[in-house]
Structure formats: structure tokens, C-alpha cells
Amino acid sequence: MEKTKEILIEQFNLTNHLNWEVINDGVMGGISESNFQIQPDQTAVFSGRVSLENNGGFASVRASLREPVSGNFEKIVIRVKGDGKTYSLRIRTDQNFDGVAYASSFSTKKDEWTEHEFSPTDFVPTFRGRTLSNVPPLKDLKISNIGFLISDKQSGSFGLIIDWIKMIVL
């Protein structure tokens, strides 16, 4: 039996964390707003307001990993406390600002900590909200970027608390 190894991708240490960047629908004329704050209790809060005005409708945050990780992972596990809305965990395999994102949705329970596990086959390749075909499967690529997105016409205030992000590799 193969041994697995756990890689802690992010635990939101105040002095040693990834460089998280907010990217909202303003890049295409929308007016959604969000922010990302690392808290003293070593959690992060991704919160704001999604607006569907001006053809908008999404808010996101992402960070580049310190070192790329093989896409041939067993699973990614996140621990979050949500607001009852649905979010997307997004993985990128290059540093392009506007390239392919591999996405997998998860639902949250209001004010309740939950863990979510994702295997490589749970992720769907997308570009600007459209599903892609004729792209390599995630398991064949190296992961260089990870993030969260809220969209799908979920207008109004949102808030997601993230405790940690782990990857289990073979």
C-alpha cells in the first residue's frame, strides 16, 4: 500500500501566509466588492457583497503556492465556516491571470464548521464561467495557484471563514 503525505497548503499564520489577492467582477465592469483578512486566530475571512449590476456577479480571492504541487494528488481538504451559500474551490496550473481554472463547488452550512474533500476528478476545467473540453486533466498538471469564488447569481452579502487548506499526495 502506498503511503500518503499531507501537505499543509495554508493555515493562515499571521506572519507566514500565502499572498492572497482579491479579484472581483470589476475586471469586467461589475461592482461586486470583497475583502480577505487573516485573523489573529489563524483563520481567514473572505467576505463582501456580490452585485449582478453591470453584468457582474462574482467575487474571488486566490494565492500562488510557494512551490507547485503535482496534480496527481489524492485529495484536497478544506475546513470552512460558511453562510449557507455555495462557493467554488479553484485551482490554476499556471500563473496566467486569466487562464484556465479547475473548479469544484461546495455548499456551506450557516455558522457551522465543515470539512470538504475534493479529488482530482471533482474539478471541472473552466474559463470565464464556461466549461472547457480538450484541456489536460488536472491529474496531469502541477498546481501553482489556489482560490475561492462566489458566483452563480448569489447576490448580496457573503462571508466564508477558512481555517486551513491541505493536500494529501501519494
pLDDT tens profile 1-37: 568 899 999 999 999 999 999 999 998 899 999 999 9
Please give the model's pTM, rounded to 2 decimal places.
0.94
- The confidence band for 97, taking pLDDT boundaries of 50, 70 and 90, is low
DSSP conformational letter for 129: T
Q: Where are the beta strands (DSSP E) in 11-155?
A: 20-24, 33-38, 44-50, 59-70, 73-81, 86-92, 101-107, 113-118, 124-127, 130-131, 142-150
Taking domain 5-169, whether its CATH number is 2.120.10.30 is answered by: no
Tell whether the torsion through CA atoms of 81, 62, 166 and 128 is positive or negative.
Answer: positive
Q: Which amino acid is at 94?
A: D
Task: Give how far Cα 113 sits from Cα of 18, 22, 30, 139, Å.
Answer: 22, 23, 31, 28
Q: Where are the domains of the chain?
A: 5-169
Q: What is the pLDDT of residues 30-50, one digit of tens each?
A: 999 999 999 999 999 999 999
